[in-house]
Structures are given as C-alpha cells and as structure tokens.
Amino acid sequence: MLKLIGVIVSILLIIVIFLRTPQENVGLSSFATKSDILGSPSSAERFLNILTVFGIAVYFGVALSLNLTS
C-alpha cells in the first residue's frame, strides 16, 4: 500500500514539474488567459508551488517509512 502511494506521488510530482514553466515563457500565462482552468498566472504559480511542496513532503515521508521498514 505504501509503495502504491509512493508511485502515485512520484507521478504527481513529475506532472507538476512539467506544468511549471519558466517566467519568460508565456506558455502558462497564455494558457491561463485562454481558459479559466488555472485562474490567473500568479494564482496558478502559487497553487503549483504549494502542490510541489506538499508532494515533496509526502514523498519524503513515504520514502523514509519504506526505508525504515525494510
């Protein structure tokens, strides 16, 4: 069960990292202005930052517990 959570969090982190675009790239901002899925570019960036930090914390927790049990 814990390994499954680790795999899901890993895939989620990969997706979130691919969604994050550099500031000079207009990919995220043009996407956000064409559709209201992510909201404004600043709120989308804030949401992705929070999601990334949460995902990394969960990933480290799962990895630590898996290493301690084996």
The residue-averaged pLDDT of 6-21 equals: 84
Of the CA atoms within 13 Å of residue 29, those in its CB half-sphere come to 6
Predicted structure pTM score: 0.67
pLDDT single digits (tens) 42-62 = 777 788 888 889 999 999 999
**Extents of the domains making up the chain:** 2-69
